[in-house]
């Protein structure tokens, strides 16, 4: 290292200095005889040990700041004596130019003129070099521990018997091979490193050490770039390029980077993972791998310091250079860059694992689970209720079907005479035609054509009779309530066919005017026919035999929006306004023989079809019943 070391700042602890002065004053005063003789060991124990800690770039420069912090904590914890740690910071390592080194040396010399420190601890290579260079002048016999210094930077030649070295050994090849191990597709590695003399030394060292990688991976060095430029490049790296964080104390434009702000801002913009070989940079920004362990170095440093302060000869305190600790990886970075844990070398430790969501949001999850359970309970309760309702609906339809069936029997009972009449007519013609044909066959030369005509008539009459019976059976058959797609015009026509003869018998004109379009609804055809039949029979009942005026029942269908409409109108007396609200009530009747169940059943049937039925009074006289059913297409 070529840099010369100069004072940058001196950090004295005023309270401790006052205590020290008091201590010196007390030491100068003659002690009472009893005290000085009785407690020499106790006095020695309470006497603070003065420790001078020398920083390299500054007390907040990583990685050395982390070593220094750990050493201080460990020393204060393990030291059997009170320790007075005084820290001095050098910054001459930051620049190439020779700094005013002499005044700083003078300053230290005058500062410790009255009493030298018990031990000097230098942290990092520049501090080690400074201490070695000026130990003769400043602390000729004071023991020194040179710590957190790479073994290559220790000047073995300048070492004295009072010096202990706690060196580290950086294996850059191992650090780079770790990158290729965890990310085997790596094609290039960009090395982020500053431009201070210390950093320049390391660029040359790394280049030499990494020669075996030539041809395997392309190396780029960012030492000539300002940090801003480095950030720009790092955000647009080509695929399969990784970043290696060497050191960034002073960049090429002379900007000094303290703490870990530089690394954090690189991490924020980089489009590639960052690796490093120093533990102080691990934990938030770098992926990990083999690294120098702060704990191991500081533990050895503190052990050395305590042994020396306890009176052991520094020459007897020796440590081998400390290599990389077993590899450690940041779980969050492994996740971010999709690095499989199976790629990590054996014996690796994965840290900063994020607990599963279940552990982070335990209470929230429990609450959500409870809400879901309650909801599931409610839903299953509702489903059960719905099922029960469906069963109840099916049962009620069944009852309705049975009731309707009974009602149909009573309605058809009224039609018996006219049905018998309707059947008699074709049967009578069949008999007459058959007799005629027999007579004709007795003739010597029967007219075959005439006989053929008679047989055709017989067949037609037979079909007519069969049709009457078929209709009757279909309306009387006991079927369960069965919803299907039906065409309403045909269904109504079928019902009318049953009562035509009755109307004829009562001298009533029964007209049917279906709309000239198909009306598709969902329904049970037998039930719908029963309703229509009921309305027609009621309409015919309303027209008294004595009435000599217009005797007419007109049935029509039409489409009203998305509803199909059936209208049954008559020329009877109509329904009294006071009765309009009651006609659909069970047992409401104005007929001496009536049961008052026809319209109540009709209403139930239509509502089971999601439709409506209404009665009204026509201005021209007579009643009008309107049924509406939803159209399906």
By C-beta, is 189 or 533 nearer to ligand ADP? 533
* Given 70, 142, 433, 538, the residue binding ligand ADP (CB under 6 A): 538
By C-beta, is 213 or 580 nearer to ligand ADP? 580
By C-beta, is 23 or 573 nearer to ligand ADP? 573
Segment contacting ligand ADP by CB under 6 A, of 93-101, 183-191, 382-390, 588-596: 588-596
CA distances 633 to 15, 71, 485, Å, are 97, 88, 10
Q: Under the criterion CB under 6 A, does residue 539 sit at the interface with ligand ADP?
A: yes
Give the CA angle between residues 253, 258, 260 to the nearest 5°.
Answer: 110
The token pair at 278 is 């120093």
Instruction: Give the shortest CB-423-to-ligand ADP separation in angstroms.
Output: 25
Strands (E) located in 19-158 = 49-55, 83-90, 119-123, 144-150
Q: Under the criterion CB under 6 A, does residue 618 sit at the interface with ligand ADP?
A: no
Segment contacting ligand ADP by CB under 6 A, of 351-359, 477-485, 499-507, 593-601: 593-601
Segment contacting ligand ADP by CB under 6 A, of 27-35, 173-181, 354-362, 533-541: 533-541
Return phi, psi of residue 460, to 5°.
Answer: -60, -45
Pick from 501, 448, 452, 444: nearest CA to 472? 501
Q: Under the criterion CB under 6 A, does residue 623 sit at the interface with ligand ADP?
A: yes
How far apart are the C-alpha atoms of 559 and 535, rounded to whole Å? 19
By C-beta, is 500 or 589 nearer to ligand ADP? 589
How far apart are the C-alpha atoms of 533 and 492, rounded to whole Å? 9
How far apart are the C-alpha atoms of 422 and 492, rounded to whole Å? 20
Instruction: Give the shortest CB-627-to-ligand ADP separation in angstroms.
Output: 13
Q: Strand, helix or coil at 254?
A: coil
Pick from 118, 312, 95: nearest CA to 194? 95
CA distances 558 to 74, 284, 306, 617, Å, are 99, 78, 110, 19
Q: Under the criterion CB under 6 A, does residue 596 sit at the interface with ligand ADP?
A: yes
x-marked contacts with ligand ADP along 488-527 as a string, rule CB under 6 A = ----------------------------------------
- The two most distant CA atoms of the chain are separated, in Å, by 180
* Given 128, 287, 317, 599, the residue binding ligand ADP (CB under 6 A): 599
Number of helices (H), then strands (E), belonging to the chain: the values are 19, 20
How far apart are the C-alpha atoms of 162 and 144, rounded to whole Å? 6
Q: Under the criterion CB under 6 A, does residue 305 sit at the interface with ligand ADP?
A: no
Give the CA angle between residues 511, 517, 521 to the nearest 5°.
Answer: 95
* Given 220, 588, 617, 618, the residue binding ligand ADP (CB under 6 A): 588
DSSP string, 299-342: HHHHHHHHHHHTT--GGG---PPB-PEEEEEEHHHHHHTT--GG
* Given 93, 542, 605, 631, the residue binding ligand ADP (CB under 6 A): 542
By C-beta, is 429 or 589 nearer to ligand ADP? 589
Residues near ligand ADP (CB under 6 A), total: 21
Segment contacting ligand ADP by CB under 6 A, of 142-150, 184-192, 342-350, 587-595: 587-595
* Given 74, 199, 461, 570, the residue binding ligand ADP (CB under 6 A): 570
Name the site residues for ligand ADP (rule: CB under 6 A). Answer: 534, 538-539, 542, 570, 572, 574-575, 583, 588-591, 594-600, 623
């Amino acid at each position: 290292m070529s840099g010369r070391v100069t004072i940058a700042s001196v950090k004295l602890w005023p309270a401790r200095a006052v205590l020290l002065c008091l201590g010196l004053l007390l030491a100068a005063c003659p002690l009472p005889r009893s005290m000085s003789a009785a407690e020499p060991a106790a006095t020695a124990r309470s006497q603070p040990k003065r420790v001078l800690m020398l920083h390299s770039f500054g007390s907040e420069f990583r990685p050395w700041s982390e070593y220094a912090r750990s050493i201080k904590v460990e020393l204060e914890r393990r030291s059997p004596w009170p320790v007075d740690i005084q820290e001095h910071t050098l910054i001459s390592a930051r620049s190439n130019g020779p700094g005013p080194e002499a005044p700083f040396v003078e300053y230290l010399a005058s500062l410790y003129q009255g009493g030298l420190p018990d031990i000097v601890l230098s942290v990092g290579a520049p501090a080690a070099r400074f201490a070695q260079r000026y130990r003769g002048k400043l602390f000729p016999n004071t023991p020194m521990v040179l710590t957190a210094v790479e073994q290559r930077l220790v000047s073995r030649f300048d070492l004295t018997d009072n010096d202990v070295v706690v060196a580290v050994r950086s294996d850059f090849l191992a650090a780079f091979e770790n990158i290729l191990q965890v990310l085997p597709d790596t094609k290039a590695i960009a090395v982020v490193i500053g431009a201070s003399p210390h950093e320049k030394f390391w660029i040359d060292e790394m280049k030499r050490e990494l020669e075996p990688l030539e041809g395997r991976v392309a190396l780029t060095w960012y030492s000539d770039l300002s940090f801003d430029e480095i950030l720009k490049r790092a955000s647009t790296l080509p695929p399969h390029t990784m970043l290696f964080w060497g050191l960034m104390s002073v960049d090429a434009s002379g900007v000094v980077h303290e703490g870990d702000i530089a690394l954090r801002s690189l991490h924020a913009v980089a489009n590639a993972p960052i690796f490093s070989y120093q533990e102080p940079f691990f934990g938030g920004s770098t992926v990990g791998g083999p690294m120098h362990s702060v704990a191991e170095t500081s533990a050895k440093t503190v052990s050395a310091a305590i042994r020396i302060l306890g009176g052991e000869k520094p020459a007897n305190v020796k440590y081998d250079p400390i290599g990389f600790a077993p590899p450690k990886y940041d779980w969050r970075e492994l996740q971010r860059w999709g690095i499989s844990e199976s790629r990590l070398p054996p014996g690796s430790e994965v840290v900063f694992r994020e607990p599963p969501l279940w552990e982070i949001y335990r209470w929230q999850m429990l609450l959500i689970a409870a809400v879901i359970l309650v909801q599931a309970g409610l839903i299953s309760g509702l489903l059960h209720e719905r099922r029960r309702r469906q069963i109840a609906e099916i049962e009620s339809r069944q009852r309705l079907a049975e009731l309707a069936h009974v009602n149909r029997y009573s309605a058809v009972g009224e039609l018996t005479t006219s049905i018998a009449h309707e059947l008699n007519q074709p049967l009578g013609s069949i008999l007459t035609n058959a007799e005629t044909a027999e007579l004709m066959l007795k003739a010597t030369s029967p007219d075959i054509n005439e006989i053929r005509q008679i047989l055709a008539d017989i067949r037609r009459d037979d079909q007519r009779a069969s049709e009457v019976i078929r209709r009757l059976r279909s309306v009387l058959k006991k079927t369960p309530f069965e919803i299907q797609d039906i065409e309403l015009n045909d269904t109504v026509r079928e019902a009318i066919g049953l009562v035509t003869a009755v109307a004829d018998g009562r001298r009533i004109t029964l007209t049917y005017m279906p709309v000239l379009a198909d009306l598709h609804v969902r329904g049970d055809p037998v039930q719908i026919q029963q309703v229509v039949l009921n309305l027609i029979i009621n309409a015919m009942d309303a027209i008294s035999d004595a009435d000599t005026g217009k005797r007419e029942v007109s049935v029509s269908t039409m489409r009203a929006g998305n509803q199909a409409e059936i209208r049954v109108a008559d020329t009877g007396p109509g329904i009294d306004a006071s009765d309009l609200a009651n006609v659909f009530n069970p047992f409401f009747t104005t007929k001496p023989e009536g049961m008052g169940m026809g319209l109540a059943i009709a209403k139930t049937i239509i509502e089971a079809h999601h439709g409506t039925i209404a009665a009204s009074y026509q201005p021209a006289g007579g009643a009008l019943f309107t049924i509406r059913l939803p159209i399906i297409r």
